Amino acid sequence: MNQSTHFRVAHSTSSMVHELMEACDEQRLLRLQKQLATQQLLIIDEPGFVPLSKTGAKFLFEIISQRYERGSIMVTSNLPFDEWTQTFGTERPADVLLDRLTHHVRILEMNGESYRLNQSRKSRRKS
């Protein structure tokens, strides 16, 4: 199984959005959107970490809308849903997006200490 044909990992939401914007500039947006829409699993990492431009938010919204009830999406985020509005600039797009993302979903909420922070503390103690 060729992983690139079945799974798409965005290193971050902002990198995926930048890739979409570049594809638009290079007139290959429809091809990239089709590719993203047909992946078995699309992983969107940290939406909201970096605020998106209006165009970037529109592209992310389009990808999620195209996949709605057609393909699996995994979203990882440290932000609660009520803070996603800041990412999309206005309440309406964030509400519609969250409506699609939270329909037919399993939300795994993980609370606890940061794994990275714990590893950093352990390595400082050893030094």
Q: Indicate the domain borders of the chain.
A: 3-126
Report pLDDT for 8: 57
4-17: burial string, b at 16+ Cβ within 10 Å, e else:
eeeebebeebbebb
- Topology of domain 3-126 in CATH is Rossmann fold (3.40.50)
Euclidean distance between CA atoms 83 and 67, whole angstroms: 23
Q: What is the pTM of this model?
A: 0.74
22-67 tens-digit pLDDT: 999 999 999 999 998 888 889 988 887 788 888 888 898 899 888 8
**Distances, alpha carbon 114 to alpha carbons 10, 38, 42, 111, 117, in Å:** 22, 34, 25, 9, 5
* Predicted local distance difference test score (pLDDT) of residue 5: 53
Q: Which residues contact 70 (CB under 8 A, 6 or more apart)?
A: 37
